[in-house]
Chains A and B, each alone.
Chain A
Amino acid sequence: MTNKWMLGPVGAVAVVALAAQSGGAAVTASQPMTVQNLTGTLRVQQAIPCGNHADKSTPVNGGRLVITPSDGVDVSGGKLFTLAAGSVTFAAFSMSGSCDGVSRTTNFQNVAVQLSRAVTFTAPALGGGAFSYQIPKDDLVIFQASTIDGSLDSGYKVPIEDVTGTIDLTNATVTMHVVLGTSVHFEGGCVPILGCIVDETDSGTVTADLAGTIAFPDSDGDGIPDRLDNCPFVANPDQSPVPTPVVIAPPDVTLSSCQSHAIGTASATDVCDGGPVTLSNNAPAVFPVGGSTVVWTAEDQKSRVATASQIVTVIDTTPPTFTFVPPAITRNTCGPVNLGRAIATDDCAGTPTVRNDAPYFFGVGTTTVTWTATDAAHNRSTAAQTVTVVDTVPPVAACIDTDQERGHDHDNGDDVFVVTAVDACSEPSIRLGPFVLHEGERIRITETGQPGIRLVPDDDHGHGDHDIRHFLVGRGQGVITATDHAGNVTTAACR
């Protein structure tokens, strides 16, 4: 494992399309906008006994609304938003009322409201990136809490009117109008059994008018919201250009073959948006021997392009490849053979030379012919072809009457012959009956009435040709046989 680790880059690509993936795409589609810097008022209007009214406004102290997704979801007629969370605080205030000359002041502190149920609503478009909305009152529940004269008071309220407002994505503002109802039962001047002088229930409203600015998602936290940021994933508060995509070419590489593409893979990232990046290179199908520059090009989904270079050096150590070697050949006799032609190609430019070591003459048996292909870099490869000779052809033999050649015609059954026998594969043996003759030997044959073949002892019988062996043969038995090494036999009559 350690050894494998030591290896450098592996793998090969000529043109690669890489799809960069942003992790958690589903969750990032739910990035909310935060409505902050809230301003506005909370106005309390309450009827009280003696026909009086209390009316008090207090400013918003702080808070935030969370609306998701940040750009809404496009739906028919507008955008779909979810008011996911909200918490608003108001400045402390006091309210006074009087009846029949008696007055009372109540102090409200820690006044806060909190959204208790997330609500999804459709906001019709107003144009210019602004949307209005009207949330049915029964869809909202608000938790309200405050300290009244030092005592906690809290509870849940459903608005008595639909909640209305606007979301302006262009100007990054949100408004909201909420009206809650109140109902207070007053009693006063109560006397047991007789009842109370004041015994009434009075209604009122609490109206909140809110306005705030949208803080759109700012992934890199540089103060520029993603929707306006020229590079949302890299902090660049001055919006200085950020090179993207970033492409890193694989390390320079040396190849042993012009056709190798083990040049590695570049990596590319859309550092600004995290979108997919298409990666390609201009590597040729066949590299030339020596050094070449490969340019890797990365293009992101906004058509931004970046390049990086890699030096690819080919030192050709790859031998040629035979694409055709003639098939094995079988012949029935010896001699030259037409082998055919082997063909070889090379991984680099140029045609390799192809030669073989075939003999001119193929004898009996199997001969291996070695073909050798050599490229320009002197890399060699070899291939084999066999030639097999199985000798089935008999020798060619002749027994030639020399007298007839000279035009003599003794016709006395006593002639001198020259015996010959040739074979393509071997020197055949020549026999006359049991006697071995030599190639080109002159013999005298005298036909007798006695069957069989006999050698006349050293006797020239007056012929004066002591170097010629003289055979006495039966009638028709003057026939020589020639036999080659493969046992093929042929005969020739001496007459």
Chain B
Amino acid sequence: MRDIAKTARRWLMVGWFWPLVLLVLPNCGFQSDASTGGGAAGPNLNPGDPPHSSAVFCDIEKQSARHCASDDEIAHGIRLASAAIALNVGATNAFALDDSPDALGRCGGKPEAVPFFGTFPEGFSVCVNCGETVNTTAYPDNNAVCAAQCEDFVGSTRSDGTFVPANPPDPATKAFCEQHARASTNFPLNGCFDNACLTAGAIDPSFVDPRRTPEPVVWENLIGVVSTGSTLTKLTTTNDFDAGAVSIQTITGADGYVEFTAADTTTAKIGGLTSGPPDPDKDPHANTLNFGVGLSFDGNVFVFENGQQRGPFGTYATGDRFRVTVHDRFDGSATVMYSRVTGTCNPGAPCNEHVFFTSTITGAYPFHVDASLFNQNAALANVQLVRIH
């Protein structure tokens, strides 16, 4: 009997604390009917056997909850396209703003609020036994895990407050969840964050989301330079923009940025973004770099766009950080902004960012990081990328 009950507990939504006191009487037993009701089949998501100490983060949209955003929501909302940047600065909310042309069209030019069950952009944490759940026949990828979790949000509430998911879900719910539940921003499609959850299956309060940390740039097509981690340094002695490299990573859509640190003020270097995939880009010259922040050897800050110089925009000091940010225009192109980051900048917190120039031309997705270095030992240090990937 107890074995049956244990099995039932695992698969039936029996609720918490109902077997608080189990009396041992002759032929004793207990039933779960009070909690689950007859015919309940338990949750749709099978997290596997314990421990459920791994987390999958899901963006699970609330069904029929989209609405035109209010002014307050616009003021405090996070754009869907800004998810990666919001992760980086630790911004969070229970909804996102969809400012795509379709959404703007539905809302008279204002964005649409998209409520989620969990937080955006981190996502709702689903605690599972990763090895028994993710990338299995039942759940080929984390989108399937998220869809099952989505289905578990639809059900009925018993008089004692126990929430019982509908299993199987009604077709409309199933279809909605397949469309509107997916692995959240920058969460791997096949994999988990191990030890993000407590053994019993709730998120560990001390868990720190690694997605907050910017991604180091990995360089390829190195010409006249050497990379040390994400830092790129010119080796050759020519005083020309004839050395550089490109990132293997690309920004394929949505908002993102590349950031680098000035290692000195006596060498000239340009770092930024160039449209197109990185592989054909084997020209390190500055005039093929689409959108770059240029730091001159006399300490001035410029913008370089396809070889055209703009500025100066003040001077710079060793350790100053500069960003080139793309802002999705939803037509395959992006607005490009150039900024300087001052003060302390911690993952999960906003930085003091000063936009000093917004390009008058747009760039086309995808973008890759591009660098062009002038003097020997000129360096772009600690080059980092924030993007949705």
Decide whether A and B assemble into one complex. yes
How many Å lie between the Cα of A264 and that of B205 in the bound state? Answer: 52
A322 at the interface (CB under 8 A from B): no
A118 lies within 8 A of B117 (CB): yes
Binary flags per residue of A17-56, CB closer than 8 Å to B gives 1, else 0: 0001111101111111000100000001010110000100
B92 at the interface (CB under 8 A from A): yes
Main secondary structure of the interface of A (DSSP, over half): strand
Given that A197-B25, A274-B354 are known contacts, is A87 also in contact with B294, CB under 8 Å in the complex?
Answer: no
B22 at the interface (CB under 8 A from A): yes
Instruction: Name the B residues within 8 Å of A160 (CB-CB).
Output: 160-161
Instruction: Name the B residues within 8 Å of A191 (CB-CB).
Output: 27
Given that A157-B163, A160-B160, A206-B16 are known contacts, is A233 also in contact with B351, CB under 8 Å in the complex?
Answer: yes
B206 lies within 8 A of A24 (CB): no
Q: Give A144-166 interface residues, CB cut-off 8 Å to B.
A: 144-148, 151-160
A117 at the interface (CB under 8 A from B): yes
How many Å lie between the Cα of A1 and that of B292 in the bound state? Answer: 14
Instruction: Name the B residues within 8 Å of A419 (CB-CB).
Output: none
A145 lies within 8 A of B94 (CB): no
Binary flags per residue of B344-361, CB closer than 8 Å to A gives 1, else 0: 101001111111100000
A474 at the interface (CB under 8 A from B): no
Task: Place the interface of chain A in its size category.
Answer: 35 or more
Report which of B33, B77, B119, B127 forms a contact with A26, defined as CB distance below 8 A.
Answer: B77
Report which of A152, A201, A251 forms a contact with B50, defined as CB distance below 8 A.
Answer: A152
A188 lies within 8 A of B339 (CB): no
B200 lies within 8 A of A203 (CB): no
B30 lies within 8 A of A184 (CB): yes
Q: Give A42-79 interface residues, CB cut-off 8 Å to B.
A: 44, 46, 48-49, 54, 62-64, 66, 68-69, 73, 75
Given that A28-B89, A269-B352 are known contacts, is A248 also in contact with B314, CB under 8 Å in the complex?
Answer: yes
- Closest Cβ neighbor of B94 among chain A residues: A118
How many Å lie between the Cα of A103 and that of B23 in the bound state? Answer: 7
How many Å lie between the Cα of A158 and that of B158 in the bound state? Answer: 9
Q: Give B302-316 interface residues, CB cut-off 8 Å to A.
A: 302, 307, 309, 311-315
A147 lies within 8 A of B72 (CB): no
A228 at the interface (CB under 8 A from B): no
How many Å lie between the Cα of A141 and that of B157 in the bound state? Answer: 10
Q: Give B12-31 interface residues, CB cut-off 8 Å to A.
A: 13-31
- Closest Cβ neighbor of B268 among chain A residues: A5
- How many interface residues does B have (CB within 8 Å)? 111
How many Å lie between the Cα of A99 and that of B384 in the bound state? Answer: 66
A-B residue pairs in contact (CB < 8 Å), sample of 10:
A22-B355, A29-B76, A31-B91, A85-B122, A89-B205, A106-B20, A110-B198, A113-B202, A185-B34, A222-B344
Given that A68-B93, A84-B93, A152-B200 are known contacts, is A46 also in contact with B343, CB under 8 Å in the complex?
Answer: no
A131 at the interface (CB under 8 A from B): no
Q: Give A235-283 interface residues, CB cut-off 8 Å to B.
A: 235, 246, 248, 250-251, 264-267, 269-274
A22 lies within 8 A of B342 (CB): no
A219 lies within 8 A of B350 (CB): yes
Binary flags per residue of B147-172, CB closer than 8 Å to A gives 1, else 0: 00000110101111111110000000
Q: Give A177-199 interface residues, CB cut-off 8 Å to B.
A: 180-191, 196-198
How many Å lie between the Cα of A80 and that of B125 in the bound state? Answer: 24
- Distance from A48 Cβ to chain B, minimum over Cβ atoms (Å): 5
How many Å lie between the Cα of A465 and that of B181 in the bound state? Answer: 137
Given that A145-B202, A147-B199, A189-B27 are known contacts, is A8 also in contact with B298, CB under 8 Å in the complex?
Answer: yes
6 A-B pairs besides A5-B241, A152-B52, A188-B28 with CB distance below 8 A are: A29-B91, A64-B205, A118-B119, A152-B201, A157-B16, A189-B25
